[in-house]
Amino acid sequence: MAGKVAIVTGASSGIGYATAKLFAHEGGKLIVAARRRSELDALVAEINALGGEAIAADGDVCDERFAKTLVDLAVNRFGGLDVAFNNAGTLGAMGATPDIPLEGWMDTLNTNLTSAFLGAKYQLPAMVARGGGSLIFTSSFVGHTVGFPGVAAYAASKAGLVGLTQSLAVEFGARGIRVNALLPGGTDTPMGATFASTPEARAFIEGLYAMKRLAKPEEIAQSALYLASDASSFTTGSALLVDGGVSINRS
């Protein structure tokens, strides 16, 4: 990541927080984005204390103006954009599908899928101007290899990211831009704790995985680093499972 400029959304906690720290440790210059300013400021302070460079921007990824602001920051403060990790997301409206209100459905799709489109809309031209780059979306194994009841909006939005990934990879591959989706398994984050809220629930969920455990955010960050870096120079249009074997486990 040395010399590369990256945007990381959903950076106030979990996978985004860990990835921003790792990108900075590897020499990247960061624009970190989320809604919670105090958490972003703490992240920036931590990165700067270790000799990295980062700028915080708080806002709503569903706001098109905010998507443009993040790219403008990268260009004006660091000279361009090389990497975008569109990681912000939500579990959204959950429960029996007939009981999900339209508003809950739309909010989930807007946060998980439309925000990714808005990010890419402004990130791609900046990467073209730079001569290439890496665009990454955080999708999920849910809705791709595994179905769960009660999460229809989440599954549909995350599956949509894989389709967006494939389309953009074809559209921009000849211009030096790689587009990939990262599909984490259950991760020990505040969002993950929604499901693993009791010792019994956590034990059940861990049992679904071939590795019989959840991921640490830092483990998912390592795969994001692979997709962001030149180590994945011939990888595009992929749905990269980093799911501890939950997609193939039957034991």
**Residues known to be catalytic:** 154
Residue 29, classified by CB atoms within 10 Å of its CB into exposed (0-12), middle (13-18) or buried (19+), is: buried
Residue type, 82: D
Contacts of 216 by beta carbon, 8 Å cutoff, 6+ apart: 18, 187, 188
Question: Which residues partner with 240 through β-bridges?
Answer: 182
What is the C-alpha to C-alpha distance for residues 21 and 30, in angstroms, rounded to an integer? 9
Let me know how long the chain is. Answer: 251
| CB 33, CB 118: distance < 8 Å | no
- Phi, psi dihedrals of residue 180, rounded to the nearest 5°: -140, 155
Residue with tokens 């706001």: 63
CA distances from 197 to 141, 186, 201, 217 (A): 20, 13, 6, 17
DSSP one-letter code for 201: H
| CB 52, CB 108: distance < 8 Å | no
What is the C-alpha to C-alpha distance for residues 84 and 242, in angstroms, rounded to an integer? 19
Q: Largest Cα–Cα distance in the chain?
A: 52
